[in-house]
Every structure is written in C-alpha cells, then in structure tokens.
Amino acid sequence: MKLEIATHPRRARRGIARTRRYSVCEPLESRIAPAAVSWTGASGGNWNVAGNWSGGAVPGMGDDVTINHAGATLVLIDSGAFAVNSLNVIGDDVLQMTGGSLSVALSSTISHLDVSNATLTATTLVTLTGTSSISGDATLGGGRCGMRACS
C-alpha cells in the first residue's frame, strides 16, 4: 500500500506540487509452523518425558510426531492429556495407552496400538497398519479409524 501526500499547499497552488510516497508495511498475523518431532528415547519409555523427544520437549498441538526407533520400541502414555498435529508410528514400534488421552488433528498412521483405559481422539483418518489391541475402558473417537488388523 502506498500513501501519497502533497508537501506544501502554497507550492501546490503555484504548480510546484510535489508528492512524497511512503511505503507502509502491514504486519502479518502470527503463525506457528508445525514442527517435526521424533522419538529419541531408548527402546521404550514414557511419552511425557521431554528427554525422549528431539528438541528436548514433549510434543504439542502444532507438532508432527514420528516414532521410528531402531528395533521394537514401546512408547507409553499412562496419564495426562496430549494433543499433536499428526502421529506416525512406524515398523515394530508400539504406542501403548494405559491412561490419559491423545488427540490427533491430521491423518496419521500407527503400526501397533495398544489402548486400555485411555482415549484416542482423531479429527481425520487414523490408519492402524499392524496388530492392535483395544480393551478395558478404551475410547476411540472423532473422525475415522481404518484398521487392517486389530485383535
């Protein structure tokens, strides 16, 4: 956007009108870009331990989470309420929920899911690609759940 202003009214009458052009910068709204966060913990551990994640912080609402540890890794959510942008649990890794809740905003894939007395909520498709177990007072809610193999 440009703003034009005449510099002096007398000069404008004498035909010496000059204009000054000012550039005006408009600030953009603040945005938070999703961060890619991955599991760096040992062969297992608790979701809510900051040291188990790249960046040294527990994943939050704006984070795209990947659990793809060498070998079979069990990541445990036993209490608390967590929310992430997306979640991909790959290979032999297992997401085990024995309490608390996890909300997922975007399409996600979980290779092995074990839910008992916990809540997993998704606003879009969550695809379960491996053997999964849902028992006890477990709740899967929200969008859709695509299952290839559940026991």
Question: What is the full per-residue pLDDT of the chain (151 aa) written as tens digits?
Answer: 444 455 555 555 565 555 566 566 666 555 466 689 999 988 789 999 999 999 899 999 999 999 998 888 999 999 999 999 999 999 999 999 999 999 999 999 999 999 999 999 998 888 899 989 988 887 777 655 444 444 4
Q: Judge contact between 36 and 64, C-beta under 8 A.
A: yes
- Domain positions in the chain are 35-147
C-alpha distances (whole Å) from 109 to each of 88, 104, 136, 146 are: 5, 11, 23, 9
CA dihedral (117, 120, 125, 131) positive or negative: negative
Task: State the pTM of this model.
Answer: 0.72
- β-partners of residue 51 are none
